[in-house]
Structure 1
C-alpha cells in the first residue's frame, strides 16, 4: 500500500491528475452527504455495467450481422456507373462497395451502430433504477430514529467523504484504463512516453490492467496497422469510383496505344511504355507537400493533359487507361525504395493477365525512366505493398 501512495505523491502529470480526481470526488462526497454520494456511486456503477454490457452485445451483434450484410450487398450486384458521377454519388458508391468488400470496415461500422443502440436502450432503464433506489432510500430513512437523525449531519458527511473517495478511485481507474488502451494501441503516439514514465501509471498498468487484458491489447499495434490499412483501401476505392468515368480522349489514346497488342500482357506493357515516357515527375508538387504540407489533388485527366504528376497520379492515369481497354487493374499503395537505404510512401499498379491464367503482375510507370519496372524480378524488394 505504501508503494501505491509513494507513486501517487510523485510530482508527475498522471499522478497529479489522479490526485485531483480523488480530491475533487472527496470534496463532492462531503458536500452531498451519505445519501447523495451513495446515489452517485450507484449510478457510476450502473454506467460502467451498461457500457460493458453494450460492448459485449454489440460485439456479438456485429459478428452475426456482418456476413449477412455482406451477402445482402453482394446480392444487389452493385456496379459503379461508367459515366461521370456527382459528389454525392461518388461518396455513396465508395461507402456501399467498401462495406461490401472490406470486412474490418463493415464489422467496425456495425459494431458502432449496435453499441449506440444498446447504450440508448439501456439508458431508458436508468430512471427506473433511480426510482427503485429512491424508494429503498426513503424506507431506510423512515426507519431511523429521531436521535439518529440528530447525529446524522457529521456522520453523513463523513460517510459521504468515504463514498466520494471510493467513487474517485473508480473514476481514476477509468482514466488509467483509457490511458492504458491509448498506449497499447498507439505505442508511438503523442505523450505516450510521458505516460509510460509515470510510476503510478506503470504500477497500475502492470498489477491491475495487464493481467485483466491478457494478450488482447498486446496486439494493439497490429490492430492499429490493420485499421490504417483498411482506411487506405477505402481511399483507394474512392479513387476507383472517381476514376470510373474515362474521358473520351484518354480512352481513344489507350485504344491507339494498344491497337497492335494481342495479349493482356502486351496491352499492359504498351500502356506502361506510353505512360512512363510521357508523364514527367512533378517535383514541385512533391516538394510543396513535403516542405509545406500542401497537397494538390489532381484527376487522371489533369495528369494526361499536363503530362506531370507524382506516383499516385501516374498510377491512377495508368489504371484508367488500362480499364478502358478491358484490363483488370488496381492502384497499389505502400513504400518504395528511395535509393538512400530507406523507403518512402509510393504508389504503383498491378494488372491481371486474364488470358494467361489470371495472375497479377506488378509494374511501376513512375520509375520507367530509371529502368525496367514492368514485372521485373526482385520487384517486391523495392516495393513494399501495404497488407
Structure 2
C-alpha cells in the first residue's frame, strides 16, 4: 500500500505534542510555558478564521469599487487580473492585526484563570504515580495538537490553491485525511455556501480520452493541454465526442426559447439559462464515481442531462451550450481546472458572448449550487488553465 506523505505529516503533527507531554510528564511550570504557546496558536487560528472569512466579503469586487474608487484605474485592473494578491498582501495584514488583538485578550484570560488552575492541578497530583502524570501531560497537550493540525491544514490549503507543485496537489487530492479535515474545518471558513456544497459534488470526474488508430490514451487529469485535432484523432469527453455532447433536440430548443421569452437583452437571457440549470440539474454522484474509475459506459451530454435532470460538470456545460444556441447566443465550452476547496481538479464550464458590451463572460453552472458564478468577479480565484474546446 502506497503511503501518502501528506497524511503521514498531518498525523505526526497531531501525535508529536501528545508524545512530548507523555514523555516529560505534567508539571505546572512546563504547562504554563507550553500553554502560552497554545494560546498564541489559538489566537492565530481564530484570526485566520475571522480574517479570511470576512476579508473575502470586504475585498469583493463590489466593495473594491467603493474602497478604491479614489485610486488609479490600474490598481483595480491589477487586483482583478491577479486576485491572489488579496491572499498574500491584504489578507495577511488583516489577519495579523486581528491576531494581536485576540492574543492580548487571550493572554489576559490565561493569567487570570488558567495559570491558577494549573497550579491547583499540580498540587493535587503531586503524590500521584508517574504514569498518571504522564497521561495527564499528554491530555493537556491535546489543544496544541489540534492547533498544529489546523495550522498545517491552512498552510497546505493555501499551497494547494497556489498550485506551486503538481505532485503536492496530487498528494493532497488523494489524502483522505486531508480531504476530510479540510471539508470539516477549513472550507466552512474559506468560503461559506460554496464550501458546504461543492466539496461533495466535484472531483476529478471529467475525463478526456484520445482515440487514434485504434489506440486509446487517457491524459493526466491535471493536464489541460487537450487540443489534438489533427484529423486523425477523435477526442471523447466522458465517453462522447464534443458534437454528441452539445447536440440538442426540439424539446430542449422549445423549452430554452420559452424560458427566456420575457427576458430583455443577451445577458439577462444568459443569466436565466444559468439559473435554471443551476437550480434544476442535480449532480450525478454515481456517474462521477464511474468516470473517476475510468468507466465510460455512461451517457453524457445535453439531451441526457435535460431528460434526467442530472449530470456532472461536462453535462452541465453541454446543456448550457444547447440552451444558449437555441436562443442564437454565441457560446463556448471551456475545459481546465477548478479549485474545489481541497485541490485543483479537472473541470468544465462555459463562456457566453454579450454583444451589448462586446465581451465574453464566464459561466459555471456546476458551481452555481455554491454561489453566484455568472460573470463572477475574480472568477480566476477558483478556475484556471482555461482552454476553449468549442465555440458556436
Q: Same fold by TM-score, threshold 0.5 exceeded? A: no
- Please state which structure has a larger fraction of its residues in helix: 1
Which of structures 1 and 2 has the bigger CA Rg? 1
